[in-house]
Amino acid sequence: MSPSIVTMSSKGQVTIPRTVRDALGLEQGDPLLFEERDGLVVIRKRPRPDPVRDASVGATLTEWEDKLDDEL
């Protein structure tokens, strides 16, 4: 993929070029992670939260439900 030049708006917004969106499979609403590394900015697509997985993991976290904790 060849480099693309974009211009930042007064609100700090940029349009991600179609070639980049297509290469990363980006869609409207996808969460993106911006990270600064040695003067460069790395942008990564983050997986969307999975509510079913989150609920199943949350159901296993029972250590905070112990009544003894309330008494300490």
Q: What is the mean pLDDT of the chain?
A: 83
pLDDT digits (tens, 9 = 90+) for 27-56: 998 889 999 999 999 988 887 666 676 677
Question: What pLDDT is stored for residue 70 in this prediction?
Answer: 64
pLDDT higher than 80, residue 61: no
Q: What are the residue boundaries of the structural domains of the chain, listed by start?
A: 18-71
Question: Stretch 62-66: mean pLDDT, rounded?
Answer: 64
Task: Note every long-range contact of 5-11, with CB atoms under 8 Å and residues 24 or more positions apart, other chains counting.
Answer: none
Q: Is the pTM above the cut of 0.95?
A: no
Task: For 3-38, give one letter per residue: b (16+ CB within 10 A) or e.
Answer: eeeeeeeeeeeeeeeeeeeeeeeeeeeeeeeeeeee
Place of tokens 């590394």: 37
Place of tokens 């949350």: 58
Q: Which of 6-15, 44-53, 58-67 has the lowest mean pLDDT?
A: 58-67
